[in-house]
Structure 1
Amino acid sequence: MFIFKTKKSPFYQLTYDLNGKRTTVSTKTANQKEAYKFMANFSRESNEPKEQIHFISLSKFRDEYKEYIKLTKSKSYLRSVELSFKQLISFAGDISLNRLSILTLDKFVTSTFARTQRGAGLYYRTLKAAFSKAVLWNYLSDNPLKKIKAPKIAKPFPVFISDIELRIILEHTHKEYLKVLFTTAFYTGMRLGELLNMKWNWIDFKQNIITVQCSATFTTKSKKERIIPISPLLRSQLSNQLPKVINLENNSFVFTRINGIKLNEDFISKQFKKSVRAAGLDDKIHFHTLRHSFASQLVQKGVSLYVVKELLGHEDLSTTQIYSHLQKQNLEEAISLL
């Protein structure tokens, strides 16, 4: 995009590319300074000056953005937002949002990637989503991270455990409610947040199903409800919890230490890790491994990836395809055709 002047007009002209074609529009001014100002505010899409960009510091935008998303995003996502902005502000300073250059952001992503590949990916995704909202709110004219390639991170196969290893973990778990919680995660593939928000009215013992529900205080990651059948083993364990419940119509939590008080995600994760270490198993095993294990068992037993996708509540089949390497029989059949 540049300005120029011809003998045919007293006004400076602005030339820019639109869908691969060079297009010219008059700035309607003979003053070079005003012409450059016109170019700075020019919008290719509308041929009109852009809406005025509002100035806001990174820290103030972070606070406004967190306030906006706190009702629709999980606590872990909010922590990711906090951490991503903390790292960016530490690198670039608490400057005005619209002063963030592509060069600065590129250096930030690159330097972070040199320290932590997963961190670089997390910060990139989180900040990119935040900056898209900044464009909508007229804090930015466009999203600078859209012009920077996402860091490529090698994706290892997900860690999973067998039912034998689950039993070993349960043997080193002392609290009964934790044993049932870990077992439910293994046999349903539910996320930790879903399990801790699950209430007794989610469970239909007549039809042997759990309906993962959204409410005013909780929404699933995909913002959609889903149905998960209950296995006979899990049904037996959940049924044993029933006598401890005073009133099923009271929408009380299934897993709780104090009636009516929801368990903390970090506490449960640490308790599971404590049991894993006590059992002497691989330290790479964490609570989310139970979800991977549920999916891995199904795939290895010939269940289609589409069905696994629906049970896990994935929005896109590509997310479920991390388990495709487990379809050993399909791979062998493909090779046998050679």
Structure 2
Amino acid sequence: MDWRSAIKGFQAYLRLEKSMSANSVEAYSRDIEKLYQFCELGDNKLKPDAITLTNLRDFITWIVEIGMIPSSQARILSGTKAFFKYLLIENIISSDPSELLEAPRIRRKLPDTLSYHEINKLIAAIDLSKPEGVRDKAIFETLYGSGLRVSEAIELKLSNLYLDIEFIKVTGKGNKERLVPIGAEAIKALKIWIEQVRVHVPIKKGEEDFVFLNRRGSRLSRQLIFMNIKALAEAVGIQKKISPHTFRHSFATHLVEGGADLRAVQEMLGHESITTTEIYTHLDREYLKSTISRFHPRS
């Protein structure tokens, strides 16, 4: 089978059998075009039904050598496996050469975090003479005090606050609910916002139960919180690339640095897998290394 027929058939398979969007079909097609380019390089030009596992391993080496980043390598590998699955289903090949092809390891990037001093510096710079400032302080204290995702903070409801027992109910990914403890500073900031400022906001119908509202009485957008944090960081001279998620990373990092049990941190963050939470043990090691470098007399 020639390459053009194989790629055309693969596109139809993705569109009709896998119900993929036009953008996904195009992305997969580009990946197979790269495999086609590779197979055309040598003297013995390879047809789709003649490719072996060795050829595919050479192909992965080639895309590394031409400068593809690990995430792109992983995407191309995924497209390649889907292509050979299609060839197998159509009986164009009798066995799948990509079955034992391993994905390149993607180095997990450690997120930026703020020190406790930097957190305090940011929050202290908020203008509390404005209603929005009181609200923003409550948001930042909640993000840092409970490790919420920004989407979870936006969707936080008054009916899910149990401040008397220092817990809040959070709806996370996949609409999964979890109870998260909340610290005293966050509780204090929330009470001031709710009892002294929010009561004066003209609330839009249907938004009555949401904790954080804009001046028009609607729930906040992610973009507004992001812009407010960025503006605040610039105002106090913090050069790090920060976002609302930085508060979540800082929450988890400071817990791990303080000796918190990783399973407890996983539960609070709402991670499906402990592997996701384990990134904070790497952050902790970096913290330990930097501590040795700064304070050990032999360093």
Q: TM-score range by the shorter chain?
A: 0.5 to 0.7
Partner of 1:241: 193
Change (3 A) 1:169 1:309: same
Q: Deviations over 1:219-248 (max 9, x none)?
A: x2365321111111100111112131469x
Q: Partners in 1 of 2:246 and 2:145 — Cα distance?
A: 12
Determine which structure has the larger helix proportion and give its number.
2
Q: Partners in 2 of 1:104 and 1:271 — Cα distance?
A: 48
Q: Deviations over 1:103-131 (max 9, x none)?
A: 78995896489656364267469x57x95
Opposite residue 212 of structure 1, the aligned amino acid is: V
Contact 1:252 1:260 in 2 (8 A): no
Query: Would you say 1:189 and 2:147 are equivalent positions?
Result: yes
Query: Would you say 1:164 and 2:117 are equivalent positions?
Result: yes
Partner of 1:299: 256
Q: Pick from 247, 257, 270: which aligns with 1:290?
A: 247
Change (3 A) 1:318 1:173: same
Q: Partners in 2 of 1:111 and 1:286 — Cα distance?
A: 33
Opposite residue 192 of structure 2, the aligned amino acid is: N
Opposite residue 152 of structure 2, the aligned amino acid is: E
Q: Partners in 1 of 2:64 and 2:225 — Cα distance?
A: 30
Q: Partners in 2 of 1:63 and 1:173 — Cα distance?
A: 50
Q: Pick from 211, 215, 232: which aligns with 1:275?
A: 232
Contact 2:207 2:218 in 1 (8 A): no
Q: Partners in 2 of 1:278 and 1:318 — Cα distance?
A: 36
Q: Partners in 2 of 1:148 and 1:160 — Cα distance?
A: 36
Partner of 1:152: 105
Q: Percent identity?
A: 25
Instruction: Report how far residue 145 of structure 1 moved.
Output: 6.9
Unaligned runs of 5+ in 1: 1-53, 68-81, 94-98, 214-219, 333-338
Secondary structure of the residue aligned to 1:292 is: helix
Partner of 1:309: 266
Opposite residue 144 of structure 2, the aligned amino acid is: F
Change (3 A) 1:59 1:131: closer
Pairs within 5 Å for 1:198-209: 198-209=156-167
Change (3 A) 1:184 1:87: same
Instruction: Report how far residue 258 of structure 1 moved.
Output: 5.2
Cα RMSD for the two superposed structures: 4.5
Range with bigger deviation, 278-287 or 301-310: 278-287
May I ask how many residue pairs the two structures share in their alignment?
Answer: 247
Pairs within 5 Å for 1:29-108: 56-57=11-12, 60=15, 64-65=19-20, 87-92=27-32
Instruction: Report how far residue 152 of structure 1 moved.
Output: 1.7
Q: Deviations over 1:52-103 (max 9, x none)?
A: xx96548846994469xxxxxxxxxxxxxx6x7654444546xxxxx89897
Q: Partners in 2 of 1:113 and 1:291 — Cα distance?
A: 37
Q: Deviations over 1:26-50 (max 9, x none)?
A: xxxxxxxxxxxxxxxxxxxxxxxxx
Opposite residue 209 of structure 1, the aligned amino acid is: F
Instruction: Report how far residue 212 of structure 1 moved.
Output: 1.1
Which protein is bigger by CA-based radius of gyration?
A: 1
Relative contact order higher in (CA < 8 Å, ≥ 6 apart): 2
Contact 2:253 2:280 in 1 (8 A): yes
Q: Deviations over 1:238-272 (max 9, x none)?
A: 1112131469x965322231566343324433432
Change (3 A) 1:279 1:252: same
Normalised by the size of structure 1, how large is the TM-score?
A: 0.56
Normalised by the size of structure 2, how large is the TM-score?
A: 0.62
Contact 2:71 2:106 in 1 (8 A): no
Opposite residue 317 of structure 1, the aligned amino acid is: I
Contact 2:113 2:246 in 1 (8 A): yes
Contact 2:11 2:25 in 1 (8 A): no
Contact 1:109 1:120 in 2 (8 A): no
Opposite residue 224 of structure 1, the aligned amino acid is: K
Q: Partners in 1 of 2:174 and 2:97 — Cα distance?
A: 27
Instruction: Report how far residue 210 of structure 1 moved.
Output: 0.7
Query: Would you say 1:324 and 2:281 are equivalent positions?
Result: yes
Instruction: Report how far residue 319 of structure 1 moved.
Output: 1.8
Opposite residue 319 of structure 1, the aligned amino acid is: T
Change (3 A) 1:109 1:171: farther
